[in-house]
Amino acid sequence: MIARTAILALLSVTVAVTGCNSSQISAGSSSSPSASLASSPSPSSSPSASAENSCNAPKSPPSTWPAEAVAALEAMTERYMKRCATTADFELYFSLPEGLTTTQEALTKKWYSDALTAATRVFGDLLQSTKPIAVFYKTSAASMCTELVAFLEQESAAPDVIDGVKRYEWSCKPNADWTGVYSRAGYGATILEAKSPKYDYLILNMGNGDELRSKDPYAALNPTFQTPSHELFHLAQFTNQSQAATLWWGEGGAAYIGHLTAAMQGMVSYKEARDQGLVTYSCEEIARNGKSGPPRIAELSGWWESADGKWWNGMVYSLGALASEYVIGTYGWDAFYTWASGYQTQRGLSDYAYLDQRSQQTFGISLDDLHKNIDKYLERVLPC
Ligand SMILES: [Zn+2]
């Protein structure tokens, strides 16, 4: 799959980029607007602390949820509410497709602003950049490539970053097969270290345009609601040198945050997001593959290359998010976030040895035991 190949390629060079996708929706017609850089990116007004979406905690969890799920939600909600009033918003710059109506443009900016505001209040203290975040939301591969390169050149990003963007198939490679990306509106990626004087972080998002053409745009955004805050969490992971630690933590943690903060911004009910997007979806994938249960979570302890060709590779996000929920609910957010820190700088050790050592230090148990406990949790929460 394109996202996977892209991640592989990009993680092996200095341009640290991470790709993501959320659940699939049907493909729409893909127009090819070619926005000119002259008119974009345009600075948006900073996301305002509007009354309708700030400082609203998700509704109480249903009584059917396991204690760990409730504890995780409560821990994150408490953190969010505590930081809500005082956390400064990131300044955002947008580059959007040309030809959007005023309503479509406002919607897209609100989507990102709300999502990133909610996520910033949950964990924005972990990001170290004070520079604005640039948001590239595109509906054609050609404009993603040409505008991104032009933007990076204009903003004096590091040459190795620009070369990486030009070279790899997620952005500019000739004959890249983008059909899979267009059918998957939640595809996002992040340039973690643009090394430009003005921007360190760029969040990239490919959509198929359905969400912008819909009469009920927030409903149409449903498959993609988690992408902005999901990508922001990858920036936080990059900050603590843990980006590629394990799939269940790297992508699952981002998916957990993406679903939860979408609920905090009021886009979706968290009950619906969790119970449908994580639990029901996982069971559907298990059934679709003719299996009787999920893979052992230890199988998701490598990075993307370890998922190639595996039957469970469509469940990385949903199972990883439930695993993250278990760890946050059992050990708290701080332990969850810090256990894999320093992973990238410690790769002289075998990956497993480092994570096992950190697991014992942080959780008081071996990585094997942590994985076994997660497996038991998955068996408990998946009704299949
Ligand atoms: Zn991701």
Residue with tokens 């591969």: 141
What separation in Å is there between the alpha carbon of 229 and the centre of ligand 1? 10
pLDDT, mean of residues 78-100:
85
pTM for the predicted model, two decimal places: 0.81
- Is pLDDT at 12 greater than 50 in this prediction? no
CA of 88 to the centre of ligand 1 (A): 24
- Cα 90 to Cα 43, 97, 217, 332: the distances in Å are 12, 22, 24, 26
| Structure confidence at residue 231 (pLDDT) | 87
CA 335 to centroid of ligand 1, rounded, Å = 20
Query: What proportion of the chain, given as a percentage, has pLDDT over 70?
Result: 75
- Reported as a single tens digit per residue, the pLDDT across 284-321 is 999 999 999 999 999 999 888 889 899 999 899 999 99
Distance, CA 162 to ligand 1 centroid (Å)? 21
* 250 alpha carbon – ligand 1 mean position (Å): 7
Please compute the mean of the pLDDT values over residues 255-268 and round it to a whole number. Answer: 85
Separation of alpha carbons 143 and 384, rounded Å: 43
Q: In the prediction, which pLDDT does 345 show?
A: 84
Ligand 1 centroid – CA 253 distance (Å): 9
Query: What pLDDT was estimated at residue 108?
Result: 82
Question: Where does the pLDDT of residue 323 fall: very low under 50, low under 70, confident under 90, or very high at 90 and above?
Answer: very high
Token look-up 């040309």 returns: 98
Average pLDDT over residues 82-94: 85
Tell how far the Cα of 379 is from the centroid of ligand 1, in angstroms: 24
User: Cα(177)–Cα(311) distance, rounded to whole angstroms?
Assistant: 22
Tell me, what's the pLDDT at 104?
81
Residue 17 confidence (pLDDT) above 50: no
Contact 10/168 with Cβ under 8 angstroms? yes
* C-alpha of residue 163 to centroid of ligand 1, in Å: 22
- pLDDT category, 173, cuts 50, 70, 90? low
CA–centroid distance, 22 to ligand 1, in Å, is 9
Instruction: Write down the domain spans for the chain.
Output: 2-40+52-381
- Which CA distances in Å does 29 have to 106, 170, 219, 222? 22, 20, 18, 18
Alpha helices in the chain (DSSP H): 2-11, 67-84, 102-123, 141-154, 159-167, 179-182, 210-213, 217-220, 227-239, 247-264, 270-272, 281-288, 316-331, 333-338, 351-363, 367-381
pLDDT for 247 equals: 93
pLDDT at 169: 52
Question: Tell me: the pLDDT tens digits for 150-169?
Answer: 888 998 888 888 888 887 65
The share of the chain scoring above pLDDT 90, in percent, equals 31
Q: Helix 247-264 to helix 102-123 angle, to the nearest 10 degrees?
A: 120
Q: Give Cβ neighbours of residue 43 (< 8 Å, ≥ 6 apart).
A: 91, 93, 132
**Number of Cβ atoms within 10 Å of the Cβ of 249:** 26
Q: Distance between CA atoms of 90 and 191, rounded to whole angstroms?
A: 16
8 Å CB contact between 113 and 267: no
Cα-to-centroid distance, 156 and ligand 1 (Å): 26
Between the CA of 5 and the centroid of ligand 1 the distance, in Å, is 14
Average model confidence (pLDDT) across the chain: 77
Instruction: Report the pLDDT value the prediction gives residue 265, as an integer from 0 to 100.
Output: 79
Give the distance (Å) from ligand 1 centre to CA of residue 153: 26
Q: Could you give phi then psi for residue 136, rounded to 5 degrees?
A: -105, 110
Question: In this predicted structure, what is the pLDDT of residue 337?
Answer: 95
Q: In this structure, are residues 230 and 20 in contact, taking their beta carbons and an 8 Å threshold?
A: yes
**How do beta strands 42-43 and 92-95 pair?**
antiparallel
Residue 36 carries which DSSP code? -
pLDDT value for 202 = 81
Compare 134 and 221 and report the one with higher pLDDT: 134
Ligand 1 centre distance from Cα of residue 171 (Å) = 16
Say how many Å lie between the CA of residue 20 and the centre of ligand 1. Answer: 4
pLDDT at 279 over 50: yes
**Is the C-alpha dihedral spanning 202, 314, 295, 74 positive or negative?**
positive
Determine the distance separating the centroid of ligand 1 and the alpha carbon of 316, expressed in angstroms: 10
- Please determine, looking at this structure, whether the domain spanning 2-40+52-381 carries the CATH number 3.20.20.70: no
Q: What is the pLDDT of residue 370?
A: 98
For the stretch 93-150, pLDDT in tens is 888 888 888 888 888 888 888 888 888 888 888 887 778 888 888 777 777 788 888 8
What is d(CA 335, CA 113) in angstroms, rounded to the nearest whole number? 28
Whether residue 199 is predicted with pLDDT greater than 70 in this model: the reply is yes
Asked whether residue 177 carries a pLDDT value surpassing 60, the answer given is no
CA of 315 to the centre of ligand 1 (A): 13
For residue 45, the model assigns a pLDDT of 39
CA of 19 to the centre of ligand 1 (A): 5
Instruction: Kindly compute the dihedral angle of the four CA atoms of residues 136, 137, 140, 142, in this order, to the nearest 10 degrees.
Output: -10
Q: Say if CB 370 and CB 326 are below 8 A apart.
A: no
Model confidence pLDDT, tens digit, residues 43-56 = 443 444 444 445 77
Q: What is the pLDDT of residue 162?
A: 87
CA of 38 to the centre of ligand 1 (A): 30
